[in-house]
Structure 1
């Protein structure tokens, strides 16, 4: 079988040592108050620097863009200084790392908005959607998302500028680039979908108008840091958070055509649960025909599936999520066909080093880890 997964790849002017990407995963380990990245996070990411590229957990572009407790920001000086610890540690370990920029939109709770409503393209509540909120007692609970309020045009412009500033802050913090989170039911995705965007102005209605917010965000970020160091994550087949939209496939293909030459990569987030729909081959062919730059795919891949999608030419890099949690040395385990450790779901969100930085690298039976 081909071993393309373990060959170098050039992205944004940087040479990645392999084609394995660590996918963005929320872990909620920041220092409080202030949602500040810290030394524990630096250790966590540096342990996983064997990936060709790391994409960080989703990171707020502003205080108003938050939807979950203890997730990091990239808008204050303290947060930028905290991220510098992370990038220094990853680079010292020989890795490359991009910061994922995030606005959650309606997937939020009044606790993050001084009691006010979350914002969205339109005032449509995401049915059956909850966010993780840590109370004054220190206990995290899943709370229902309330009805959001629709953004004004002036507020939309302000959010675009927040993305620009956060991208600049990322480069100040030492990141190699940024990834715009346009997937999984958050704000950019909410603008793209007809079920969450009922606007009748220049940001809604037709698919072309629903693309406008994405286009403005991408243009602002790419103008600030360069197209080659700008990526975007999209998820046409992910429908949770009340996002099932019969028009989204065509809209995403239209977006991919516009994105060609304007970003360094497109990161396709595929559904990753056990009975998730398979991505049709005809969609992959259609995507590649429109977007000939770097494509990253993510979603329950193992080494064999990763090699197959690379060999077909449908992707250039493959991202792994949950396997990286319990296997800090995942690239080495995949390359040498070593067994993978299982993660502890109870320690995914919040807490300390347990279930975060204490997963060992591989050791043969009888050998110390």
Structure 2
């Protein structure tokens, strides 16, 4: 049989109804998920798997769990599967947005090129003294994820956030000293820089209680938020990390290709991930993200090169994107001005539904 984007896919004990995956899209529509967020995800539950926007691993209280329960119930009601994406911004945070608490990173190296809407750019982080403290946050967060009714959890180790910062040799300049004979080192070699995301995944497995419900997102080529190792550093680092991750029998490994339009600091290293790194993933489902067209994705799935395709921007203006692709229906255009709420583009009568849940399905 020919495998297509419309074909079902097994992720461990989970059955996906198709191979369309809704990418994590940060839409800035509230801090505690509510009915509006639930409707947004319900509209897009034609995808076999939905991934939430990045969700902080720092303790946030029961309101977060109750809010996300509305979302998971809505998605399950449409017969789909949803994973939460666990996230820590690391050096990309700003003290002014965290009650004065300092932003942190593997080393005291600030990112370049970033900015906040009403604040100055990135600031130099404080060096993390004990990475194990942050690893433990992923364990507790995974427990809360399960309480909120999610089907699984994805560890966000891309886009220049904390796990990615540990991987990248320009952000991670640690020279950890061995204090005890069993001490873990978190910098220096390729293996040591890969340790943080690997340990975060293992902690999430312990918290959720099932390796087949845990996944990871990686962006080897960099380019986001001042990330970018040269090829001779990047390839061996990710080769080691993927080899070790593949032994854990995860739900999937998602790799993001280099997308030039998002490479604001021109630090990315364009690399054919399917050629250099795909062969290392043998026991785990392999997902690809990064400016995929539906035609390219269909060809990659049909050839067995990838198991499922992750789409972002097409889902914004087309909540029924899988239906449109499978039935060769035209796609609606995206209004970039309404992706995020902005006083420039909103008037007194507008709500956060604008540009969020007001895109109709094709039949409507």
User: TM-score normalised to the size of structure 2?
Assistant: 0.88
Provide Cα deviations, 1:47-89, integer angstroms capped at 9, x if missing partner.
00000000100001116xxxxxxxxxxx310000000000000
Q: Distance in 2 between matches of 1:28 and 1:340?
A: 24
Q: Taking structure 1 as reference, are residues 99 and 332 closer, same or farther at Cα in structure 2, changes over 3 Å only?
A: same
Partner residue in 2 for 1:217: 200
Partner residue in 1 for 2:122: 145
Q: Quote how far apart the aligned CAs of 1:107 are.
A: 0.6
Q: Distance in 1 between matches of 2:262 and 2:53?
A: 25
Q: Quote how far apart the aligned CAs of 1:312 are.
A: 3.5
Q: Quote how far apart the aligned CAs of 1:205 are.
A: 0.3
Provide Cα deviations, 1:15-38, integer angstroms capped at 9, x if missing partner.
1010000000101112xxxx2111
Q: Distance in 2 between matches of 1:93 and 1:275?
A: 33
Two-structure CA RMSD over aligned residues (Å): 1.8
Aligned to 2:5, the other structure's residue is in SS state helix
Aligned to 2:288, the other structure's residue is in SS state strand
Aligned to 1:57, the other structure's residue is in SS state strand
Partner residue in 2 for 1:232: 216
Q: How many residues align?
A: 337
Alignment counterpart, residue 58 of structure 1, candidates 31, 51, 54: 54
Partner residue in 2 for 1:138: none
Partner residue in 1 for 2:77: 92
Alignment counterpart, residue 87 of structure 2, candidates 96, 99, 102: 102
1:117/1:146 contact within 8 Å kept: no
Q: Taking structure 1 as reference, are residues 104 and 353 closer, same or farther at Cα in structure 2, changes over 3 Å only?
A: same
Q: Quote how far apart the aligned CAs of 1:278 are.
A: 9.6
The gaps in structure 2 that reach 5 residues or longer are: 177-184, 342-350
Partner residue in 2 for 1:261: 247
Q: Distance in 1 between matches of 2:82 and 2:289?
A: 17
Q: Distance in 2 between matches of 1:224 and 1:274?
A: 36
Provide Cα deviations, 1:165-212, integer angstroms capped at 9, x if missing partner.
111111100000000000010000000010000001110000111112
Provide Cα deviations, 1:140-176, integer angstroms capped at 9, x if missing partner.
x4641111110012xx222111111111111100000
Q: Distance in 1 between matches of 2:21 and 2:79?
A: 14
Alignment counterpart, residue 174 of structure 1, candidates 143, 146, 149: 149
Q: Quote how far apart the aligned CAs of 1:245 are.
A: 1.1
Q: Taking structure 1 as reference, are residues 275 and 227 closer, same or farther at Cα in structure 2, changes over 3 Å only?
A: closer
Q: Distance in 2 between matches of 1:312 and 1:252?
A: 24
Is 1:287 the counterpart of 2:277? The answer is: yes
Q: Distance in 2 between matches of 1:88 and 1:196?
A: 39
Is 1:157 the counterpart of 2:132? The answer is: yes
Q: Distance in 1 between matches of 2:129 and 2:166?
A: 13
Is 1:325 the counterpart of 2:316? The answer is: yes
Is 1:192 the counterpart of 2:167? The answer is: yes
